Chains A and B, each alone.
Chain A
Amino acid sequence: MNVPAASGDGGATTLVAGSSLWADAWRRLRRNRLAVASAVTILALACACLAGPWLIAATWGHDEQSQDLASGPRPPSWEHPFGTDFYGRDLLVRVLAGGRVSLTVGLLAALVAATIGTLYGAVASYAGGLIDAVMMRAVDVLYALPYMFLVIILVTILGKSLLLVFLALGAVGWLLTARVVRGQVLSLKEREFILAARSLGTPAHDIVLRHLIPNVIGPVIVTFTLSVPSMILQEAFLSFLGLGIQAPRPSLGALISDGAGQMLVFWWTLVFPGGLMAVLLFALNFLGDGLRDALDPRLER
């Protein structure tokens, strides 16, 4: 929609496009070449992990579970670029399928954590007073706990399905987001537009959901992006301990755990899954850093 500019200077209508926070952030992010490279890497890896296992199965007939004891473990070759594992399974397929599990768990767990954290922090901060004090005291107590121990208990209680792993990770990973959001809302709720909304009689849940949360979405995105790699790391941590995704389904943590046990003889079983994990985390962390710099102009270097 075109809005005619109020022309006070004889009809010269110069519309200066206001640059929104998002446009600014997008521009800053694009200038950060490392962040762009990381985003491209993540997209490429995600595509490979999604389509790769299927493509390889269709072309070469290797799939992630079929065993061929006669042909394993073999070093990398043309037929098996990443080699094969102890049971003769193609490692490339397994690594890609494991990467898919890691990415899924990381994204979903981070999403669960961001949702809980944002709502919790916004409600606590907007309610204020005793409610705020009690709610944040609970966060302090949880923050002080070795929370992986809670996840371990939860996983052993709930069982070891993919769904439960990311629910357990998300259910205890929302603390940082809650703190960040609370801090932001604390200053936002004193602003005029909230006062205006209140004086119009807007109910509290509408103020929180429609006015406060949209204004804290920047910091939430940054904590979300940075929590994806840490969720991936924690899923791998659980799988390494044998608590995550169960065999024969591959996950990066379980593959690394297997590889670490036989790295002396079959080095490729550690190097490839470990390598994919490191590259994935590296790119995600870099992108998160770039997003933080882009969305938080105060930190401009």
Chain B
Amino acid sequence: MIGYILRRLRGLVPTTLVIVAASFALVRLAPGSPFTSEKEIPPQIRRQLEARYGFDRPLPEQFLRYVGHLLRGDLGLSTKYPQRSVNEIIADGFPVTLTLAGVALVWALLVGITAGVIGAIRRNTIWDHAAMAAALVGISVPSFVLGPLLVLVVSLRWQLLPPAGWGDWRHVILPGLTLGTLSAAAIARLTRGGMLEVVQSDFIRTARAKGLSERLVVWRHMLRGGLLPVVSYLGPAIAGLLTGSVVVEKIFNLPGIGPYFVDAAFNRDYFLVMGIVLLDALFLLVMNLAVDIVYGLLDPRIRYR
């Protein structure tokens, strides 16, 4: 097990290198530069600016220097916000994005698994149909429709929660709901399907035959089988939450990392774009590794060697 984790961690190194190289190539091959704006910049000042960020060197040298800085934990300077380093911008924004994604994930798991279990054990009843219809609605209503509607009803009509901004726990509820609903719906469908798949398997019959109470059969044995597809969905789900946070942060005006990314891609803010891509990719790679480990713990048929 430990050997397996170490081997996977070692595997992250080439993957990360590929990601860094790919994002560098993608960003630098794009037409335009950080200093093309409405205002004409005098050539001398422009040359000075380029020298400050090292853009006057040949590309391979720039790449090596970038990798060298990365190894020291330095993500470079933002060209849009000259006073700030990419590290500072990320340190400000990423905790907000992570909090939002975390709340959304907890909400998605709680609601999704509950609805899925109800659907599976009350199969083909009104409860099942209601839960699955709700899940389909959840998949079909995009976050940028759901978010404004929630603001309209909960914040403005009922005045229960703040409509936008960031501060205490009340600010995270509506964005979390908005972001997590899609995953909740997907998890409900996966849980139901996964449980129905194991309902007729031998180990459930054995569990019943040895006289376990129905509650134990459902919660210990069936749910475990039902959760396997959910666990393997968690990797893409977390990726989806990070992506979705871009829109949700915009709707609720949160100081997360998402809006920075869109602006940075527009402004060709090279180091900021690469920094955010690298950070998100690393986060996802580690989460995927964690998901694989949990999968092995849940499924006794899998052995890590």
Contacts and interface: CB of A to CB of B under 8 A. Distances in A.
Interface residues of B, number: 45
Given A148-B243, A156-B266, A260-B251, A141 B15 contact: yes
A152 B142 contact: no
A141 B281 CA distance: 9
B70 interface: no
Contact of A263 (B152, B235, B261, B284): B152
Contacts, number: 109
A267 B145 CA distance: 12
A241 B245 CA distance: 12
Contacts of B239: 144-147
A277 interface: yes
B136 A282 contact: yes
Contact of B280 (A149, A154, A274, A301): A149
Interface string A249-276: 0000100110110011001001000100
B276 A149 contact: yes
Contacts of A152: 261-262, 265
A153 interface: yes
B145 A277 contact: yes
B247 interface: yes
Contact of B235 (A144, A236, A241, A243): A144
Given A237-B247, A241-B246, A257 B265 contact: no
Interface stretch (B25-33, B34-42, B208-216, B222-230): B25-33
Nearest to A242: B262
B19 interface: yes
Nearest to B29: A157
A241 to B, nearest CB: 6
Interface residues of A, number: 40
Contact of A237 (B26, B139, B144, B236): B144
Contacts of B261: 149, 152
B204 interface: no
B137 A277 contact: no
B136 A286 contact: yes
B201 interface: no
Given A256-B144, A263-B148, A278-B140, A241 B30 contact: no
Counting chain A CB atoms within 10 Å of each CB, the highest count among B15, B18, B140, B246 belongs to: B140
A285 B152 contact: no
Contact of B152 (A153, A156, A157, A264): A264
B104 interface: no
Given A146-B242, A282-B136, A277 B142 contact: yes
Nearest to B196: A301
B236 to A, nearest CB: 7
A244 interface: no
B59 interface: no
Interface of B: 15, 18-19, 23, 26-27, 29-31, 124, 136-137, 139-142, 144-145, 147-149, 152, 156, 196, 235-236, 239, 242-243, 246-247, 250-251, 261-262, 265-266, 273, 276-277, 280-281, 284-285, 288
Which 5 pairs from chain A and chain B are nearest by CB? A148-B243, A281-B140, A282-B140, A260-B148, A274-B145
18 contacts: A141-B19, A143-B235, A144-B15, A145-B281, A146-B242, A146-B243, A148-B243, A152-B261, A156-B266, A157-B29, A241-B250, A256-B145, A260-B147, A260-B251, A270-B148, A281-B142, A285-B136, A285-B139
Given A145-B280, A156-B30, 8 more contacts: A144-B288, A146-B281, A148-B246, A153-B27, A153-B277, A154-B26, A260-B251, A278-B137
